[in-house]
Amino acid sequence: MNEGYASIHELAPERRLRRLELTITRRLDGLLHGQYLGLLPGAGSELAGSREYRPGEDEVRRMDWSVTARTAVPHVREVDADRELTTWLLADATPSMDFGTAEIEKRELAVAATAAVGFLTAGSGNRLGAHVLGVESIRRFPARTGRTHLLGLLRALLAVPRGGEGAQPPALAEAIAGMRRSAPRRGLVVVVSDFLDGLPESDDPEARPDWEEELRRVAVRHQVLAVEVADPRELELPDVGLITLVDPESGRRREVSTGDRRLRERYAAAAAAQRETVRRALRRVGAAHLPLRTDRDWVADIVRHVYAQRRLATAAARPTQGTV
Q: What sign for the dihedral angle of Cα 24, 316, 176, 220?
A: positive
Higher-confidence residue of 216 and 164: namely 216
57 lies in the same domain as 160:
no
| Domain end among 55, 80, 105 | 80
160 lies in the same domain as 186:
yes
Range of the domain at 276: 8-37+82-231+272-318
| Domain end among 25, 55, 80 | 80
| CA–CA gap between residue 220 and residue 217 (Å, rounded) | 5
157 lies in the same domain as 207:
yes
- 242-271 mean pLDDT: 84
User: Is residue 53 domain-resident?
Assistant: yes
218 lies in the same domain as 93:
yes
User: Is residue 244 domain-resident?
Assistant: no
Q: Count structural domains, the chain.
A: 2
Number of H helices, E strands in the chain: 9, 10
> Considering the entire predicted model, what is its pTM?
0.76
Mean per-residue pLDDT over the chain, rounded: 80
| pLDDT for the residue numbered 195 | 96
207 lies in the same domain as 67:
no
Asked if residue 128 lies in contact with residue 89, where contact means CB atoms within 8 angstroms, the answer is yes
Task: Pick the closest to residue 25 from 115, 126, 88, 107 (CA basis).
Answer: 115
pLDDT at position 270 over 50: yes
| pLDDT for the residue numbered 26 | 56
Task: Pick the closest to residue 10 from 91, 104, 116, 150 (CA basis).
Answer: 104
176 lies in the same domain as 53:
no
Asked if residue 190 lies in contact with residue 88, where contact means CB atoms within 8 angstroms, the answer is yes
Q: How sure is the predictor about 122, in pLDDT bands with cuts at 50, 70 and 90?
A: confident
| pLDDT tens digit sequence for 95-117 | 889 888 887 889 999 999 998 88
75 lies in the same domain as 191:
no
User: Is residue 299 domain-resident?
Assistant: yes
| CA–CA gap between residue 320 and residue 147 (Å, rounded) | 39
Q: Which residues of 14-32 are buried (b: 16+ CB within 10 A; e: fewer)?
A: eebbeebbebbeebbeeeb
Task: Pick the closest to residue 80 from 223, 215, 216 (CA basis).
Answer: 223
198 lies in the same domain as 160:
yes
User: Is residue 302 domain-resident?
Assistant: yes
126 lies in the same domain as 64:
no
65 lies in the same domain as 113:
no
